[in-house]
Chains A and B, each alone.
Chain A
Amino acid sequence: MAEWAAVVGIGQTRYKTRRSDVSIAGLLREAVDRALADAGVGFDDIDAVVIGKAPDMFEGVIMPESYLADALGASGKPMLRVHTAGSVGGSTAIVAASHVQSGTFKRVLTVTYEKQSESNAMWALSTPQPFSVHLNAGAGGYFAPIIREYIRRANAPEGVGIRVAVKDRRHGARNPLAHLQLPDITEQEVRDSMMLWDPLRFLEACPSSDGACAMVIAAADSISGNKPPAWIRGVAMRSEPTMYAGRDEVSPQAGRDCATDVYAQAGITDPRRDFDCAEVYVPFSWYEPMWLENLGFASPGEGWKLTLDGATSLDDGGDIPWNCSGGVLSSNPIGASGMIRFAEAARQVRGDAGAHQVENARLALGHAYGGGAQFFSMWVVGADKN
Chain B
Amino acid sequence: MRDIAVVAFSQSACVADIGAVNEVELIMPQLQAVYAQVGLSSAQDVDFVCSGSCDYLQGAAFAFVAGVDALGAVPPLKESHVEMDAAWALYEAVLKIRTGHADSALLYGFGKSSPGELPAVLSQRLDPYYLAPLWLDTVSLAALQARMLLDSGSITESDMAAVVSRSRQNAQANPLAQLAGDIGVAALLQDDYLLAPLRRGDCAPVSDGAAAMIIATVEQARRWGVPYARLTGIDQRIESHNPCMRDLTDSVSTRQAAAAAGVHEAALDVAEIYAPFSHQEIILTRALGLDEAIAVNPSGGVLAGNLMMASGLARVGEVFQRIVNGDARRGVAHATSGPCLQHNLVAVLEGA
A residues sitting closer than 8 Å to B (CB atoms) are 1-3, 23-24, 54-70, 74-85, 91, 95, 98-99, 101-104, 124-125, 127, 129-131, 235-242, 244, 247, 252-254, 257-258, 371, 374-375
The answer to whether A60 and B242 touch across the interface, beta carbons within 8 angstroms, is: no
- Across the interface, name the chain A residue whose C-beta is closest to B260: A78
The answer to whether B124 and A62 touch across the interface, beta carbons within 8 angstroms, is: yes
Cβ-Cβ contact count across A and B, 8 Å cutoff = 195
1/0 contact trace for B312-352 toward A, CB 8 Å?
Answer: 00000000000000000000000001110011000000000
Of B56, B68, B83, B342, most A-chain CB atoms within 10 Å: B83
| Cβ–Cβ < 8 Å partners of B83 in chain A | 56, 63, 81-83
A-B contact pairs, 29 of them (CB 8 A): A1-B99, A24-B128, A54-B61, A56-B55, A56-B61, A56-B83, A60-B128, A61-B128, A66-B125, A66-B339, A67-B127, A70-B241, A75-B239, A77-B238, A78-B237, A78-B238, A79-B237, A80-B236, A84-B64, A84-B79, A85-B65, A98-B92, A98-B95, A101-B101, A239-B73, A239-B76, A240-B77, A241-B73, A242-B68
Cα–Cα distance between A66 and B239 once the two chains are bound (Å)? 9
The answer to whether B80 and A237 touch across the interface, beta carbons within 8 angstroms, is: yes
| Cβ–Cβ < 8 Å partners of B288 in chain A | none
The answer to whether B132 and A61 touch across the interface, beta carbons within 8 angstroms, is: yes
| Cβ–Cβ < 8 Å partners of A253 in chain B | 74-76
| Interchain residue pairs A-B with the least CB separation, the first 5 | A1-B100, A102-B98, A55-B61, A254-B76, A239-B79
| Cβ–Cβ < 8 Å partners of B69 in chain A | 241-242
Neighbour of B81 across the interface among A58, A65, A83, CB < 8 A: A83
The answer to whether A62 and B342 touch across the interface, beta carbons within 8 angstroms, is: no
Least Cβ–Cβ distance between A173 and chain B, in angstroms: 32
The answer to whether A82 and B239 touch across the interface, beta carbons within 8 angstroms, is: no
CB of B126 within 8 Å of the partner chain: yes
CB of B200 within 8 Å of the partner chain: no
Cα–Cα distance between A59 and B59 once the two chains are bound (Å)? 14
The answer to whether A85 and B237 touch across the interface, beta carbons within 8 angstroms, is: no
- Across the interface, name the chain B residue whose C-beta is closest to A52: B83
The answer to whether B235 and A78 touch across the interface, beta carbons within 8 angstroms, is: yes
8 A Cβ contacts from B92-138 to A: 92, 95-96, 98-101, 121-122, 124-129, 132
The answer to whether B65 and A82 touch across the interface, beta carbons within 8 angstroms, is: no
The answer to whether B62 and A371 touch across the interface, beta carbons within 8 angstroms, is: yes
The answer to whether B62 and A55 touch across the interface, beta carbons within 8 angstroms, is: yes
Contact A67 B75, CB 8 Å, known A80-B91, A104-B98, A237-B80 = no
B residues sitting closer than 8 Å to A (CB atoms) are 1, 20, 22, 49, 54-56, 58-62, 64-65, 68-69, 71, 73-84, 88, 91-92, 95-96, 98-101, 121-122, 124-129, 132, 235-242, 245, 252-253, 256, 337-339, 342-343
Least Cβ–Cβ distance between B255 and chain A, in angstroms: 10
Of B126, B241, B338, most A-chain CB atoms within 10 Å: B241
Least Cβ–Cβ distance between A283 and chain B, in angstroms: 16
The answer to whether A237 and B79 touch across the interface, beta carbons within 8 angstroms, is: yes
| Cβ–Cβ < 8 Å partners of A239 in chain B | 49, 68, 73, 76-79
The answer to whether B54 and A62 touch across the interface, beta carbons within 8 angstroms, is: yes
The answer to whether B253 and A237 touch across the interface, beta carbons within 8 angstroms, is: no
The answer to whether B241 and A66 touch across the interface, beta carbons within 8 angstroms, is: yes
Neighbour of B240 across the interface among A75, A237, A242, CB < 8 A: A75
Q: A69-B241, A79-B237, A95-B92 are in contact. List 17 more A-B contacts (CB 8 A).
A: A56-B54, A63-B125, A75-B240, A78-B91, A81-B82, A81-B84, A84-B79, A84-B80, A98-B92, A238-B78, A239-B73, A239-B78, A240-B74, A241-B74, A247-B74, A253-B74, A253-B75
| Cβ–Cβ < 8 Å partners of A2 in chain B | 99-101
Neighbour of B99 across the interface among A23, A65, A102, A237, CB < 8 A: A102
Least Cβ–Cβ distance between A208 and chain B, in angstroms: 15
- Across the interface, name the chain B residue whose C-beta is closest to A101: B99
| Cβ–Cβ < 8 Å partners of B238 in chain A | 65-66, 69, 74-79
The answer to whether B61 and A124 touch across the interface, beta carbons within 8 angstroms, is: yes
Cα–Cα distance between A252 and B98 once the two chains are bound (Å)? 29
Cα–Cα distance between A235 and B100 once the two chains are bound (Å)? 12
- Across the interface, name the chain B residue whose C-beta is closest to A49: B238
Cα–Cα distance between A282 and B78 once the two chains are bound (Å)? 22
| Cβ–Cβ < 8 Å partners of B240 in chain A | 69-70, 75
| Cβ–Cβ < 8 Å partners of B92 in chain A | 80, 82, 95, 98
- Across the interface, name the chain B residue whose C-beta is closest to A240: B76
Least Cβ–Cβ distance between B26 and chain A, in angstroms: 12
Least Cβ–Cβ distance between A102 and chain B, in angstroms: 4
- Across the interface, name the chain B residue whose C-beta is closest to A125: B61
